[in-house]
Amino acid sequence: MINQLFKKKDISTVLAESAKGNGGLRRSLTATNLVALGIGAIVGTGIFVITGQAAASYAGPALTISFLISALGCVMAGLCYAEFAAMIPVAGSVYSYSYTTMGEILAWFIGWILILEYLFACSSVAVGWSGYMVSLLHGWGIDLPQQIAYATFDHTDKGWIWTGSIINFPAVFIVSTVSAFLIGGIKQSAFINNVIVVIKVGVILLFIGFGLSYINVSNWHPYIPENTGEFGEFGWSGILRGAGVVFYAYLGFDALSTAAQEAKNPQKDMPKGILISLLICALLYVSVTAVLTGIVDYRELNVAAPIALAIDRTGEGLAWLSPLIKLGAIAGLSSVILVMMLGQSRIYYAISKDGLLPKIFSKVNSKHGVPNNATVFACIVTGIFAGLFPLHVLSELVSIGTLMAFTIVCISIIVLRKTQPDLKRPFKTPLVPFVPLLGAAICIMQMVALPWSTWARLIGWTIIGFIIYFTYGIKHSKLNNK
């Protein structure tokens, strides 16, 4: 039994299978496509939504420090991801890497955490998209009924409550629309993402450039607000908690690694895509946060569309930019949902291909080279969560899942360097074990700073995952049934 749980996949076998048939997935993505996919996934909710909420609730103007802490952890983890993605260019991201280094039970655990990560990332971004769409429609004189524009449930200090809304319809709508594009094929999806990335980065640069002249430096004082007496509410503990909450903003390069099996030249292009997109986005996040908290007092930023609020506060001066910002945010969040849905469906595909989930999820459409069943299933479950729950509940779960995935990647690099030192590594993480250990330490530090309620939900999710594994996965595992 123990041998079954910790049995590992042979890396040479994985690579041979990938080269032989590629599982029906098509290698269509260039280096430019990969960088755009990374930016498409990273620049989204973190800039357009979470910046305001994290500044208002945790770090104040010092959220810029939170983003730098997260970026440092991401660079360390990104270097480890780059080594794995170049060495094992298959679908599945950390799940596939863990299967070759730590064994089946730990691979299942991280695969289940990745499902949580992508499911709640897609859902939270869809809720953010809904907030901007409702705001844009209101500006055009169109007001959606509250019963179909907000989450059905909310979680407060008093526990779960019913909001009076039936469902967040705009959130469900965008998830369904993006899923339809994904079913059309990876090449088509990548082209749409490229166009959207150009639009949203252009809009963000407009906000930074024109917003600079409207900064009121008094809004930056105190730069680090005094702690309220509670851990995580401002002060340095608030900066740390803010870093943990916004960490999932950098999730994009993890999503990028799930597409390794669809890259034309993964050995060279995956490291480029991961590291270039990460560095560009870290710079954009810090710049936007500085301008945002300079225009609006951080205490007023706990809204669904904080950048739209900042533009409105400038009065007539930037009134022309307001609809562009909202359209850019809507387009930008759409590309995030697209890449996250891509990642989520590929995780289902990879786990199903190993027999740990029903084989229906690993069937690939012969015409478009896409796992249609996995994509449709991802659409259904994401739509349910996006329609029923608010942003703050969804986003906290994404952060802890992302941090755990990054920690495992960093540790796996050290393990694999010891156990299989002679493997061909087209890209090598520098300064091993210093870089992986620092990356893991930063991630663990941010996980510890997250609220207990987030940990409780993670534990509940993990228990459900192990029930599925021991009732289905272990019996159908292809590795253990050879």
Question: What are the CA-CA distances from residue 166 to residues 60, 174, 387, 390 (Å)?
Answer: 34, 17, 9, 13
What's the pLDDT at 466? Answer: 93
C-alpha to C-alpha distance for 68 and 74, rounded to whole angstroms: 10
Three-state SS at 21: helix
Q: What angle do CA 268, 343, 116 make, to 5 degrees?
A: 130
Taking 70 as the pLDDT cut, the residues of the chain under it are 1-3, 15-26, 44-46, 91, 186, 248-249, 251-253, 304, 368, 395-397, 482
What's the pLDDT at 396? Answer: 66
Domains of the chain: 30-476 (1.20.1740.10)
What's the pLDDT at 133? Answer: 85
Specify the pTM. Answer: 0.80
The per-residue pLDDT for range 325-382, each reduced to its tens digit, is 778 878 878 888 888 888 888 889 989 988 999 999 988 877 767 888 999 999 999 9
What's the pLDDT at 24? Answer: 57
The enclosing H or E element of 382 equals: helix 372-388
Which residues, 6+ apart, have CB-to-CB distance to 427 below 8 Å? Answer: 82, 83, 86, 87, 267, 270, 271
What's the pLDDT at 383? Answer: 92
C-alpha to C-alpha distance for 63 and 54, rounded to whole angstroms: 7
What the block records as the tokens of 195 is 């166009």
